[in-house]
Chain A
Amino acid sequence: MSEENTYEPIKKVSIIVSKGSLEGVYPGLIMANGARMEGIEANLFFTFFGMEAIINKKMDHLKVATVGNPAMHMPTLLGSLPGMSALATHMMGKEMEKIDIPPVREFIQMIHDAGCNIYACKASVDMFHLKKEDFCEEVDDVITVGEFYETSAGANIIFT
């Protein structure tokens, strides 16, 4: 970090989580937590299947996708066998624990305690017939896309 630059440091980020697989959810959580660690203001916005990470009944059961992901280097037929996704999820969970990445529920709580606001997308909530009570207590509000942009004033928006 010794090189001279004149760029403005990032002061605020809005992170959108749109996917509900384990590997779809974690990057956004890590970036939100990392932002707060750096003193950057952060908002997390969950939309479509990304909401699985904040729905009380689902957030402890997110799975790694073993089909349709060429980077898994697993033949589709093998990946589709019963239990494969659970096995991959278990293995990834063990590796994450080693480097101190918490399970989803604990991570959401930690990020919220760190001062990051957590929102669910109104359109997705209506589409899936969900209510505020279906979400974990860390969810601050259900907001429209317009409110999301208002909340994001001055922020860099990151879509995951």
Chain B
Amino acid sequence: MSIAAGVKEILGKSLQIDADGNLVNLQDWDEEIAGEIAKEEGIEVLTEDHWKVINFMRKVYSDTGDAPSIRKLTMQSGVDTKLLYALFPKGPAKKAARIAGLPKPKGCI
């Protein structure tokens, strides 16, 4: 869990965010909030494939304490590298983590 650096209004709720703008508390997140964060990131509608990635990330985070690497994402989430970049243009790991209500991934790959 990261340290709160500010507060953000999403759907009328005041939610704590860290220095990167990601949610601090896992339990603040729900699917509606994910949809709102996605819009801020320029993704109007979260499709089934987006959800595959988001759910996989949340699962890995709850198991390991860190978001998965791009390699793990593309090998295990059911979404390949090309599709991953198409779904989350301009930085898939970081964007998907933010939408999934997780801190920025720590790994380099």
Contact = CB atoms under 8 A, between A and B. Distances in A.
Interface of A: 1-2, 30, 33-34, 36-39, 99-102, 109-110, 113-115
Q: Which of A33, A37, A115 has the most CB of B within 10 A?
A: A37
Given A113-B74, A113-B85, 5 more contacts: A99-B107, A100-B69, A100-B71, A101-B109, A113-B81
Return the 4 tightest CB-CB contacts between A and B, nearest first.
A39-B90, A113-B81, A39-B91, A100-B69
Contacts of A30: 108-109
Interface of B: 5, 19-20, 69-72, 74, 80-82, 85, 89-94, 107-109
Contacts of B94: 37-39
A115 B85 contact: yes
Contact of A2 (B5, B90, B93): B5
A30 B108 CA distance: 8
A34 B108 contact: yes
B70 A37 contact: yes
Contacts of B108: 30, 34, 99
A110 B71 contact: yes
A71 B93 CA distance: 33
A137 to B, nearest CB: 14
A100 B109 contact: yes
Contacts of A101: 71, 109
A36 B109 CA distance: 10
Contacts of B93: 37
B71 A1 contact: no
Contacts of B69: 100
